[in-house]
Amino acid sequence: MNLQQQLSESVIDFLQSTFGVSVPEIETQPTRKDFEGDTTIVVFSLLRFVKTNPAALASQIGEYLVEKHQEVVRFNVVKGFLNLVISDAYYVDFFNSMLQQSDYGCSPVTAESPYTMVEFSSPNTNKPLHLGHVRNILLGSSMTHILKASGHRVLSTQIINDRGIHICKSMLAWKLFGKGETPDSSGIKGDTLVGKYYVAFDQEYKKQISSLIEKGMEESQAKKEAPILLEAQQMLIQWEQEDQEVRSLWSMMNQWVYDGFSKTYERMGVDFDSYYFESDTYILGKDVVQSGLESGVFFKKEDGSVWIDLSDEGLDEKIVLRADGTSVYITQDIGTAVQRVKDNPEITGMVYTVGNEQDYHFKVLFLILQKLGYSWSNHLYHLSYGMVDLPSGKMKSREGTVVDADDLITEMIETAQTISDELGKLEGFDASQKQSLYETIGLGALKYFILKVDPKKRILFDPKESVDFNGNTGPFIQYTYARIQSILRKSTFDIEEKCAVNTLHAKEKELIKILETYPEIIQSAAQQFSPAIVANYTYELVKHFNSFYQNITILGEEDDAIKRFRVHLSNKVGEVIKSAMGLLGIEVPLRM
């Protein structure tokens, strides 16, 4: 139990013994900079339990805490706010305890820990991963790290959308126009090559529509009867009938895409523990629906279609099986969720990383699974996120205006190179070291810029802004980490030794207070499913370290004990920066 929790419990005990009231929780916050103190108890929120003057109540509580806790040196009251000054000795002792923890902030994972599956990426196999996927992938991957650090067992997965008319469009266009072109023969990455034919299909489709309109056909009819669309629809029927030639083409082109995806994931530093394919899962769910029909969760209409009535939950009726017995998307998702738990019986919850256009779909899915009685359904979460826009405008896959993830990563690395070279920060680096650093900075800038924003908010992504070496950016944080490593290289102290100081400079104390909150930050990010909490905490830590660095002598300090302490403090800040950035999937360089 940390000091904050101890103080809160003491206040609860005081109110119970003095006034005979039971208070569920105490509201605390860091003391504002314009007042003396380290932590503040908000007394206003207690007035609904104790009818008295807030300043008088605050003084009573303050006197009690000073007497009960030696760590509380003194207090002051500002209206209904009780500001507590905590002793330097407490923070020194706390810091020394931190030094013994190599994975400070992280909770241990045991066989009894919650077991959470995180689904993310889940692309279509008719085009490369693009900027929209990048946000999805970074959010999902970061949440796997954060959940692990918070004490969860975690399994990462994705469902690959490898069937449907959109897949057949790429297949047909390659068959018509490809002339046997392959990734090897063309030198084009597999997913990029398949995406090229998705665009080619759309171009030919539009030509055929225009031609039919010129011959007197209505536009709406022309869109339905364009020969290339009819051929794609026929190809889908052949796929469903397991036509050998179509299935062979489908397998070949999908493998090109998988190989391409793998290269992109590798560049991004992302991997998965398991994979599901829609070509397998689209047949799942019917047996679950039948079971739910028998138990009264679903009902059948006169035409034979099966529905669920969610009007009591403020939603509407939702179809789960068509009259002809075929599945809809919700059927597949029900079946897939059930199958995942069959495959991994210890799963206690799932996180779905999917854009906010699917908010309603997941409300329905989770309600259905709850009504079907699955215990794990109470621990399902839709990690909903907003779109990513570029200054140039919205992206459209079929028109070829999408920003591919590979191109974006390359641009980020090139931007990092240009800015680094302009700033002259890489003296003494050879060509290989420079290239490695450009990649670390470029990818760090991309990941941080996207992850520092609350997932629910839409993002306007500007590559050049993200690679700024000042402000709330990845490179700014990476540069601070490298600065700390430079201090450590110049130091001769053993960083394993305990620190023996009695008093703290205000800048030192402020840094320790921020470090103290790191475990809570990890837990909060896990509970709220928001890597932004970790990102913005890291920025605050870095800002305070730079203020400490600029205002206090470290290696030039004459007192050896103080110098040793400041080196230790710098090192611990560096460790937490590295840990926090690791939770975001971002590397930090030793030199910059």
Give the count of beta carbons closer than 10 Å to the beta carbon of residue 309: 13
pLDDT above 50: residue 395: no
- How far is C-alpha 208 from the geometric centre of its chain's CA atoms? 43
Nearest-angstrom CA–CA distance, 73 and 529: 37
pLDDT above 80: residue 381: yes
pLDDT above 70: residue 91: yes
The Cβ-side half-sphere exposure at 284, using a 13 Å CA radius, reads 17
pLDDT, tens digit (0-9, with 9 covering 90-100), for 46-84: 999 999 999 999 999 999 999 999 999 999 999 889 999
Nearest-angstrom CA–CA distance, 115 and 109: 10
| Helix, strand, or coil (residue 48) | coil
pLDDT above 80: residue 427: no
Handedness of CA 568, 570, 574, 580 (dihedral sign): positive
Q: Give φ, ψ of 11 to 5 degrees.
A: -65, -40
pLDDT above 90: residue 497: no
Structural domain boundaries in the chain: 3-86, 164-271, 406-583
pLDDT above 80: residue 479: yes
Nearest-angstrom CA–CA distance, 204 and 200: 6
Query: Percent of the chain, pLDDT > 70?
Result: 97
Q: Give φ, ψ of 372 to 5 degrees.
A: -80, -10
Q: Residue 305 — left, alpha, or beta (φ > 0 → left; ψ -120 to 50 → alpha)?
A: beta
Average pLDDT in the 17-41 region? 94
Secondary-structure class of domain 406-583 per CATH: mainly alpha
Q: At what angle do helices 227-240 and 165-177 cross, to 10 degrees?
A: 110
| Helix, strand, or coil (residue 28) | strand
Structure token digits, residue 4? 């904050």
Classify residue 120 as exposed, middle or buried by CB count within 10 Å of its CB (0-12, 13-18, 19+): buried
The pLDDT score that the predictor gives to residue 421 is 80
The pLDDT score that the predictor gives to residue 189 is 96
pLDDT above 90: residue 426: no
Handedness of CA 283, 287, 292, 293 (dihedral sign): positive
| Helix, strand, or coil (residue 188) | coil
The pLDDT score that the predictor gives to residue 397 is 42
The domain 3-86 belongs to what CATH superfamily?
A: Arginyl tRNA synthetase N-terminal domain (3.30.1360.70)
Q: How many residues does the chain have?
A: 592
Nearest-angstrom CA–CA distance, 87 and 70: 8
The Cβ-side half-sphere exposure at 387, using a 13 Å CA radius, reads 8
pLDDT, tens digit (0-9, with 9 covering 90-100), for 221-269: 999 999 999 999 999 999 999 999 999 999 999 999 999 999 999 999 9
- Residues contacting 350, CB < 8 A, separation 6+: 116, 117, 118, 119, 337, 340, 376, 379, 380, 381
Higher pLDDT, 461 or 89: 89
Q: Give φ, ψ of 73 to 5 degrees.
A: -80, -45
Q: How confident is the model at residue 302 (pLDDT cuts 50, 70, 90)?
A: very high
The pLDDT score that the predictor gives to residue 383 is 98
Helix (H) or strand (E) holding 423: helix 405-423
Q: How confident is the model at residue 496 (pLDDT cuts 50, 70, 90)?
A: low
Nearest-angstrom CA–CA distance, 276 and 268: 21
pLDDT above 70: residue 399: no
Q: How confident is the model at residue 430 (pLDDT cuts 50, 70, 90)?
A: confident
Nearest-angstrom CA–CA distance, 582 and 592: 18
The pLDDT score that the predictor gives to residue 571 is 94
pLDDT above 80: residue 286: yes
Query: Percent of the chain, pLDDT > 90?
Result: 84
Q: How confident is the model at residue 301 (pLDDT cuts 50, 70, 90)?
A: very high
Q: In whole numbers, what is the pLDDT of the chain averaged over residues?
A: 93
pLDDT above 80: residue 391: no
Average pLDDT in the 353-371 region? 96
- Residues contacting 507, CB < 8 A, separation 6+: 544, 547, 548, 551, 552
Structure token digits, residue 349? 């919850």
Q: How confident is the model at residue 287 (pLDDT cuts 50, 70, 90)?
A: very high
The pLDDT score that the predictor gives to residue 586 is 98
- Is 3-86's fold the same as 406-583's? no
The pLDDT score that the predictor gives to residue 184 is 97
Average pLDDT in the 433-446 region? 93
pLDDT above 80: residue 520: yes
Average pLDDT in the 423-430 region? 76
The pLDDT score that the predictor gives to residue 191 is 96
The pLDDT score that the predictor gives to residue 425 is 67
Q: List Cα–Cα distances, 160 to 275, 278, 281, 475, 538, in angstroms.
A: 7, 6, 10, 33, 34
pLDDT, tens digit (0-9, with 9 covering 90-100), for 110-146: 999 999 999 999 999 999 998 889 999 999 999 999 9
Q: Which of 257, 283, 256 has the alpha carbon at shortest distance from 121?
A: 257
Q: Give φ, ψ of 298 to 5 degrees.
A: -110, 165
pLDDT, tens digit (0-9, with 9 covering 90-100), for 150-195: 999 999 999 999 999 999 999 999 999 999 999 999 999 999 999 9
The pLDDT score that the predictor gives to residue 502 is 87
- Which residue has tokens 């070509």? 279
